[in-house]
Each structure stands twice: as structure tokens, then as C-alpha cells.
Amino acid sequence: MEKLPVSAGVGLRAPHHRHWLERRPAAGWIEAHAENYLGGGPGRKALESLRADYPVSLHAVGLSLGSAEGLDESHLDRVADLVSAIDPAAVSDHLSWSVSEGVYLPDLLPLPLTEESLDVVARNVSKAQERIGRPLLIENPSAYLCFRHSPIPEPEFLAELARRTGCGLLLDLNNLYVSARNLGFDAEAALAAYPGAFVGELHLAGHAVKRIDGVELRIDDHGSPVPDPVWLLFERALKLIGPLPTLIEWDTAIPPLEVLLAQAELAQVRLDRTAKRDAA
Amino acid sequence: MTALAELQRRFHAALLEGRDGSVASLIQGNGIAPDRRLQIYRNAARLLLMEALKANFPATCRIVGGEFFAHAAAEFVARHPPRQPRLAEYGAEFPAFLAAFAPASSLPWLPDLARLEWAMLACQEAEEAPALGAADLEESAPETLPQLRFAPHPACCLLASPWPVDRIRSFALAPEGESAPAMQGDPIRLLIRRTPAGIMLRRLGNAEFTLLERLLASFALDEALDGVEGDPAPLLAAALRDDLFAKS
């Protein structure tokens, strides 16, 4: 199986399909949201065509790996069929849940990090991996709340999940920063505790800042350039873990593709710098 | 029910129905009240579902106006939350919901406009499938032709309406200042299909509609042709050219 290159990639978004197809701009790799390409039509054709020229990461947002009721088999089958058709270099989803009693809410909802949750997520991840025939990368979501009873720290929870299921991790540094600010923990310390050996991919993005009840909250809207504190965390992660495939995400108020490619270039410069230092 | 399943059930109820009480006590405040924290998730989910309905029913939204649409969409989301994760497939029940939605009762054509948009979306999102061509039929022995049955191609469908919803849709999506079509007394029969250039709509006559309706329901060819007026050969040839049947 092909691996994601250790370079900067960009998210594939519908408004950019034409630009990609007609100009094939230089990019290390592209990431497509699996749920956007399960049907047919021009979007699916665009992805199949681009697959010939770029390594592809399929990023699912709807497997609901944290649902106590287990996985939606028909959705899992559709994602597995897409994986067979595209043969991506990586497949990922989140440490979160969306489905309860068959109803799906379009968000990455938070889990209490308990032994019970660990059992549930491990069972679901194992089942998904078995069905799609390859390991998943599991991403840390951004959070706006934390449960009172959530005794296992996230890095520890993810490390144990990786040990039990053989999955890898996708470390989203913007999510780590957003969660740290919203829940009041130290992002640098959480990064230092992160099980780097399992991490196979990094995500970078921008977020919005809101004030609620006079308190600042960070909203993970992927709608702006990567902010300085997230770049700093990225540099820190490269030092701690080493260079990794790194994605620029941009999902709301999507600008021209050039803006995303310029952000990817900024990530690439930092990746190159780390690689050079490691070689020296 | 396990503890996690119970927590997830309550969390969903808080987001969909605004009943925060039983889940807020499980959440750390830490400077911001738990219900305000829940509100962030609630707003995000509602906004995304509203945006999905707007994207899936753009002409319906445009013609009733954003405020009316938001009102209808909010009620629809509460009654029919999605049961699968593809937002491009959310809203199958929206046309029927609009038909029973009292504030829209003065717009009798509105449910059919939504039905048309849903049919177009279904064709747009349908899985790819190889189409049956005229050459494929040449392999069939002539005596078997009357018993031939076709499988409908997933990227096409038919729609009949007492209202000119194709023109209403064009009007809704046109720049302001276009003159409105007559909103009555113009029954239409439409063929909707996906082509490389996009979704195409074509108005059909009675005979062609009846024939295609039967063929797409996999009637045997002789049953499908029964009582159809005029020469069916050109209609059949057009159907094959339009890729209306899937290769079995």
C-alpha cells in the first residue's frame, strides 16, 4: 500500500474541483472528505481523475466511531466501497460520535474518556478496520465542553486505543489548541504527552474567536489562515515527533485554491527545515 | 441501556429538543455555564442541517424567501432529523413535509417544486452505472424482444405535476426582474437525467411519458407498448440514446 508522502497536502473542496482538474497545481497530496464522494456524478469523477496524479487521503466524518450502539453497517459498507475504488494512501475519522438511536447529527460530538468509552471506540475501530481492510488514523476532535466524569487524559486514551486496535493517530494541532483554550488545559503539555510513535498525519487549520458570558471561546470553523499559535505548535510537534504528512484544512468561507496552496507552502518550509536539521 | 448509550441519548435530546436539564449536570462549567457550552453544539448542528436543506432545495428556498424557509426548515429538522451521514442525501421527506405544512398551504405548487429539486439531486448523486446502448440490444434474438425488460439507470427519473414546476424553478433561480410564469393550469411531465453537462430536464408528451414510466418500472416491452399511440421506435431509440437503462 502506498503511504502518504511526508509533505504538505491540501483539502479537496467542491469549489476547487475545476481548478484542480484543469491546472493540476503542485501539491504533495490531497485529502477528500469520504462522505462527499460516496455518490456518483462530477464530484466523484473529479476525485477518480485526480487520484491518478496525487496521493489521496480519505477523511471520513460520519463513521461515528464513539457511538455506544455500534456502527451503521450500510454507511460503513459505502465508505469501504469508496476505499476500494480510490485505494487511498490513508483513511481517517475522529475520536467522537454523531449517531444515537439511529439519528445522525452533523457534528463531531465529545465523548467522556472512560474505560467504557475506550471499549466502545476500540470495538468500533476494529470493526471498521476489518471491513475496509486497512488501519485507520484517529483524529483528536476540537471540544467545547468536557464531561465531569472523564478520568482518562486524551493522549493516554488515544495511545491505548492504538495499542488495542493497531490504528494510527491523526494529530490535529488546531483542534488541540482550540480544545486547550476552551477547556483550560496547556496545549504544549498535552502535545508533549502525545504518543508520537502512533501519529501518521498532522492537520493544520484556522479557527474563530467568540466571546460567551464574557469568556473567550475558540470555534473550530476551518475558515481562516493557520494562526501563529498553531504554527508554533506545529513547529514544536515536528521537533518532538519528526516531519509528517501535513494537511491544510479550509472548510468554510473557502478562498481561491491559491490561498490554500500558499498555506501548504508555509507548512512545507517548516517540514523541509526539520528534515534538514534531522539530517545534519 | 449502558451508561454511554444513555449519555448519548440525552445529549442528542438536548441538541434536538433543547432539553438540556439531564445532560448539563454531567458537564464541567469551568467559567462558562454547561448549557452555553451545549448551545455551541446545538447551533452548529442546526446551522449545518439548515444549510444542507438550502443547498438541496435552492429554488424552494429562493422562492419562499430565507425567513420562511428557515422557519419551515427548523420544524422539519425537529421532526425529521437525518438518519444517515450524507448531507447531500438529507431531505427526502421535505416535499411531503411542505405539503402538510400549514403556513405553505397558499402555495399549492411548492411541494412539487421541492419534489423536482429532490429528483434532480437524486439523479446528481446517483451511483455511476454503465448504460445500455442500442448495440447491446442487437445481441438479443428478435423473438425474445417482446419479453425484454430494462433495468432503470439510477441517474434518471420521471416527474409529473399539475404545475409548471420546471418553469417555476427557472424563475426562482433567475436574477431578479424576470417575469413570473403562470402558476396554474399547466400540467407537465418531465424526464430528469444526469448528463456530462449537468442535470437535464425535458418535457415529455403523454405517449412518451407513459412508455418511459412502464419501461423504467421494468414492464416487458410488449406490455410497455400496449396502447401507446404513434410509432414507439423513435421514442425507444431516444431512451437508449439518453442512457435511461442500466446494463444488467
Substitution target in B2, B6, B12, B125 with the highest count of A β-carbons within 10 Å is B12
Its pTM stands at 0.94
Nearest to B28 among A41, A103, A148 (CB): A148
Is B132 found in the same domain as B100?
no
* Cell numbers standing for residue B220: 416487458
In a domain, B182, yes or no: yes
* Cell numbers standing for residue B60: 424552494
Question: For the purposes of burial, counting CB atoms within 10 Å of the CB of A8, is it exposed (0-12), middle (13-18) or buried (19 or more)?
Answer: buried
Is B76 found in the same domain as B18?
yes
What are the residues whose beta carbons fall under 8 Å from the beta carbon of B112, sequence distance 6 or more?
A: B95, B159, B161, B162, B163, B165
Confidence band (pLDDT; 50, 70, 90) for A1? Answer: low
pLDDT in tens, A238-251: 999 999 999 999 99
pLDDT in tens, A185-217: 999 999 999 999 999 999 999 999 998 878 889
Is B158 found in the same domain as B103?
no
CATH code of residue A254:
3.20.20.150
Are B161 and B112 spatial neighbours (Cβ–Cβ below 8 Å)?
yes
Is B248 found in the same domain as B132?
yes
In a domain, B112, yes or no: no
CATH code of residue B203:
3.90.930
In a domain, A252, yes or no: yes
Is B4's CB within 8 Å of A39's CB?
no
Cα–Cα dist A190/B73, whole Å: 41
Task: Give the SS3 label for residue A41.
Answer: coil
Out of B48, B75, B107, pick the residue that ends a domain: B107
What are the residues whose beta carbons fall under 8 Å from the beta carbon of A236, sequence distance 6 or more?
A: A188, A191
In a domain, B119, yes or no: no
B112-142 burial: b if 16+ Cβ within 10 Å, else e: bbbbbbbbbbbbbbbebbebbeeeeeeeeee
Cα–Cα dist A104/A92, whole Å: 19
Cα–Cα dist A126/A76, whole Å: 12
Which residues from B are below 8 Å from A146, CB to CB?
A: 27-28, 30
Size of interface A-B (CB pairs under 8 A): 133
In a domain, A1, yes or no: no
Element (H, E) at B177: none
Nearest to A69 among B3, B5, B48 (CB): B5
pLDDT in tens, A2-32: 799 999 999 999 999 999 999 999 999 999 9
**Region of residue A104 (left: phi > 0; alpha: psi -120 to 50; beta: else):** beta
How many domains does chain B fold into?
2
What are the residues whose beta carbons fall under 8 Å from the beta carbon of B185, sequence distance 6 or more?
A: none
pLDDT in tens, B62-117: 999 999 999 999 999 999 999 999 999 999 999 999 999 999 999 999 999 999 99
Is B147 found in the same domain as B102?
no
pLDDT of residue B141: 82
Substitution target in A86, A104, A209 with the highest count of B β-carbons within 10 Å is A104
Task: Give the SS3 label for residue A272.
Answer: helix
Which residue do the cell numbers 466571546 mark?
A: A211
Closest CA to A94 of A43, A29, A35: A35
Cα–Cα dist B67/B59, whole Å: 14
Cα–Cα dist A55/A51, whole Å: 6
In a domain, A87, yes or no: yes
In a domain, A175, yes or no: yes
Residue % of chain A over a pLDDT of 70: 100
* Cell numbers standing for residue A124: 468500533
Is B181 found in the same domain as B71?
no
Nearest to B44 among A102, A107, A183 (CB): A107
In a domain, A2, yes or no: no
Is B45's CB within 8 Å of A106's CB?
yes
Is B131 found in the same domain as B243?
yes
Cα–Cα dist A256/A253, whole Å: 10
Is B232 found in the same domain as B153?
yes
Q: Return the bridge partners of A202, or none.
A: A171, A246
Does residue A77 carry a pLDDT above 70?
yes
Domain range enclosing A111: 8-279
Is B134 found in the same domain as B81?
no
How many CB atoms are closer than 10 A to CB B214? Answer: 18
Cα–Cα dist B4/B10, whole Å: 10
Got the DSSP string for B179-206? PPPP-SS--EEEEEEEETTEEEEEE--H
Give, rounded to a whole angstrom, the gap between the first and last alpha carbons of chain A. Answer: 30
Q: Name residue A119's amino acid.
A: D
Is B14 found in the same domain as B100?
yes
* Cell numbers standing for residue B217: 418500472
pLDDT of residue B186: 81
Which residue do the cell numbers 469501504 mark?
A: A80
Domain range enclosing B182: 127-248
Is A275 an interface residue toward B (CB < 8 Å)?
no
Rounded to two decimals, the ipTM of the complex is 0.94
In a domain, B113, yes or no: no
Got the DSSP string for A185-222? --HHHHHHHS-GGGEEEEEE---EEEEETTEEEEE---
Is B37 found in the same domain as B88?
yes
- In the predicted model, what is the mean pLDDT of residues A139-149? 96
In a domain, B215, yes or no: yes
Is B79 found in the same domain as B20?
yes
In a domain, A221, yes or no: yes
Which sign does the torsion angle of CA A183, A185, A187, A192 carry? negative
In a domain, B114, yes or no: no
Does residue A99 carry a pLDDT above 90?
yes
How many domains does chain A fold into?
1
In a domain, A95, yes or no: yes
In a domain, B155, yes or no: yes
pLDDT in tens, B176-230: 877 777 777 789 999 999 998 899 999 999 999 999 999 999 999 999 999 888 8
In a domain, B116, yes or no: no
- Give the start-end residues of each E strand in B88-213: 151-152, 156-161, 188-195, 198-203
Cα–Cα dist B152/B158, whole Å: 11
pLDDT in tens, B1-31: 789 999 999 999 999 888 777 899 999 988 8
DSSP state of A106: E
Cα–Cα dist A177/A143, whole Å: 10
A217-251 burial: b if 16+ Cβ within 10 Å, else e: bbbbbbbebbbebbbebbeebbeebebbbbbbbbe
Is A213's CB within 8 Å of B36's CB?
yes
